[in-house]
């Protein structure tokens, strides 16, 4: 009789484990689907918040320009919505320098020009990036 009890216990344990495995796999699939749904919702909500913030920034800047609101009100709106009261613009500016150098020959004169740090100019607040290159040297 011990052998029959052992076989029955083994079969029941195996059956129990297989049923638990199926339950766990089902639960795991449900959780993965839920994570995907929540992630998609999160992306959608983030996109909507960005759209609203951008529209509020545009509206606030236009209202400030047309004097519909004052600077203090615009700053308050910007703080609440999380944007700056400025826009970023990329500009390309051509600057021409006329430089007089003392050198033995043209090559030395050109080398002196290349040694000048044109990026070290001072610029006002609001300018975030400045780069300079020497494109041409006329002698």
Tens digit of each residue's pLDDT (9 = 90 or more) over 46-101: 999 999 999 999 999 999 999 999 999 999 999 999 999 988 888 887 877 787 88
User: Taking 70 as the threshold, does the pLDDT of residue 117 lie above it?
Assistant: yes
Q: Which domain holds residue 76?
A: 2-81
Report yes or no on 53 lying in a domain.
yes
- Rounded mean pLDDT of 14-30? 91
Tokens of residue 124, six digits:
């006002």
Report yes or no on 124 lying in a domain.
no
Identify which of 104, 102, 95, 96 has the alpha carbon closest to the alpha carbon of residue 138. 96
Report yes or no on 121 lying in a domain.
no
pLDDT for 126 equals: 63
DSSP state of 19: H
Report yes or no on 39 lying in a domain.
yes
Contacts of 106 (CB under 8 A, 6+ apart): 139
The domain total for the chain is: 1
Tokens of residue 133, six digits:
């290159």
Average pLDDT, the chain: 85
Report yes or no on 88 lying in a domain.
no
pLDDT for 87 equals: 82
pTM (two decimals): 0.49
Higher pLDDT pick, 49 / 132:
49
* Secondary structure of residue 4 in the 3-state scheme: helix
Report yes or no on 54 lying in a domain.
yes
Report yes or no on 36 lying in a domain.
yes
Contact 118, 132 (CB under 8 A): yes
Report yes or no on 97 lying in a domain.
no
């Amino acid at each position: 009789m011990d052998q029959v009890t052992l076989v029955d216990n083994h079969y029941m344990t195996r059956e129990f484990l297989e049923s638990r495995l199926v339950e766990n796999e089902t639960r795991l699939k449900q959780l993965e689907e839920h994570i995907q749904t929540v992630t998609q919702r999160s992306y959608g909500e983030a996109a909507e918040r960005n759209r609203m913030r951008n529209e509020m920034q545009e509206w606030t800047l236009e209202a400030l320009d047309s004097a519909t609101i004052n600077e203090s009100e615009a700053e308050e709106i910007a703080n609440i919505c999380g944007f700056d009261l400025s826009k970023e613009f990329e500009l390309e500016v051509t600057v021409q320098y006329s430089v007089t150098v003392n050198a033995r020959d043209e090559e030395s004169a050109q080398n002196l020009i290349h040694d000048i740090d044109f990026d070290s100019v001072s610029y006002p607040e609001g300018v975030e990036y400045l780069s300079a290159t020497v494109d041409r040297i006329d002698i």
